[in-house]
Amino acid sequence: MKRLLQIIPAVVLGLGLAAAPADARNYPCSKGKGGVSHCRNGKFICKDGSISQSKRTCSR
């Protein structure tokens, strides 16, 4: 039982590190822009009012 309690934290840490790259993706209006506010003419408008430089387009 004691050995199992020593292994569990290592497994949890390993799973956390394995999931980290998925969170490191680039999204429109990431970093200090605050995220996407809305879409206008196929461009992402950031919450800070700027237009995203993303090459992806949006609809809605």
- Divide the 60 residues of the chain into consecutive groups of 10 and give the mean pLDDT of each group: 68 53 68 91 95 89
Check residue 32 and give its pLDDT.
87
Q: Which residues contact 46 (CB under 8 A, 6 or more apart)?
A: 28, 29, 33, 34, 35, 36, 37, 52
pTM of the prediction?
0.55
* Res 22: pLDDT: 46
Residue 58 lies in a domain: no
Residue 48 belongs to a domain: yes
CA 37 to CA 40: how far, in whole Å?
10
Residue range of the domain that includes 47: 28-53
In a domain, 41, yes or no: yes
pLDDT at 7: 73
Dihedral, CA atoms, 27, 28, 30, 36, nearest 10 degrees? -120
Within-domain flag for 34: yes
Does residue 47 sit within a domain? yes
Residue 11 is assigned to a structural domain of this protein: no
Q: What is the pLDDT of residue 59?
A: 85
Domain count, the chain: 1
Domain-located, residue 22: no
